[in-house]
Amino acid sequence: MAQTGSQSSTFPEIVELNVGGQVYVTRLETLATVPNSLLWTKFTQSSPGDLPKDSKGRFFFDRDGFLFRYILDYLRDSELFLPEFFKERRRLQREADFFQLPELSRRLAAVSKDTDTEDSEEAELNSPATTTSSSDRTLRSPGASAGYITIGYRGSYTIGRDIQADAKFRRVARITVCSKISLAKEVFGDTLNESRDPDRPPDKYTARYYLKYNFLEQAFDRLAEAGFHMVACNSTGTCSYASNDPGEDKLWTSYTEYVFSR
């Protein structure tokens, strides 16, 4: 049986949620920010025993776990800041409707109104950075085409047994380029090493080019000059011992990719 709002203290101050398999931790007051919303109802008008839980006792909601991060951001700040080139606005509006957040749903609907294509949607909202798109285009040479370029690099460093000591970084081994051939040549010119994939037609793609640079910032400068913006990045790392002795320095190896778009 539902309890009154005065008994909402039966919930812990810090609440763990499982939304579609994604785990979130937030304050009870954050979930109750918007009166009459679904989360406000669940966490102020019910008791913990009324809500479904996963195997670890976290309150479970069978919704899109990725998009819930934006729902939670909105509850925290009463504002919505979406990443550049965000293409799931209509799905996010559906989530806002489910969680009974009419103001958020209204904002999303206003942006999506009369924009039936994703390209037109991208020009309308998201972040203040999108308002510079027209000036960005002036950086392109005449006839320059849109597209993506991915920059990747591998790096390694060692950390001694005393973790307070400075890490010993090693030189970046190679900066790779993945993109359409014509786009890579336009941006990087003679700084591009094509020896691993020579004589490729300009309309084909490659993941085997690399740059004659020692610093990532050199590549980033060239991309910025050509009107590109970073839209995503990811990194992975592994750790091993420099020798079979666990007391020796640890050797860390990482691989990182940066995705640029124009």
Tens of pLDDT, residues 166-199: 555 555 568 999 999 989 988 998 888 888 778 7
Whole-angstrom CA distances from 30 to 13, 15, 102, 105, 208 are 10, 10, 17, 18, 48
Given a cut of 50, is residue 139 above it in pLDDT?
no
Provide the pLDDT for residue 195: 81
Provide the pLDDT for residue 25: 94
CA of residue 221 relative to chain centroid, distance: 22
7-11, 35-39, 97-101, 190-194: segment of lowest average pLDDT: 7-11
Residue 260 banded pLDDT, cuts 50, 70, 90 = very high
54-68, 163-177, 193-207, 210-224: segment of lowest average pLDDT: 163-177
Cβ-contact 59, 101 below 8 angstroms: no
How far apart CA 161 and CA 127 sit, in angstroms, is: 44
DSSP state of 6: G
Residue 252 banded pLDDT, cuts 50, 70, 90 = confident
| pTM across the whole model | 0.45
* Cα angle: 37, vertex 42, 48; to 5 degrees: 165
Given a cut of 90, is residue 246 above it in pLDDT?
no
Pairing of the two strands 59-61 and 14-19: parallel
Q: pLDDT averaged over the chain?
A: 79
How far apart CA 222 and CA 157 sit, in angstroms, is: 27
Residue with tokens 């300009």: 202
Percent of the chain with pLDDT over 70: 73
CA of residue 179 relative to chain centroid, distance: 20
Provide the pLDDT for residue 113: 63
More confident residue, 140 or 82: 82
How far apart CA 79 and CA 101 sit, in angstroms, is: 12
Counted residue by residue, the chain has a size of 262
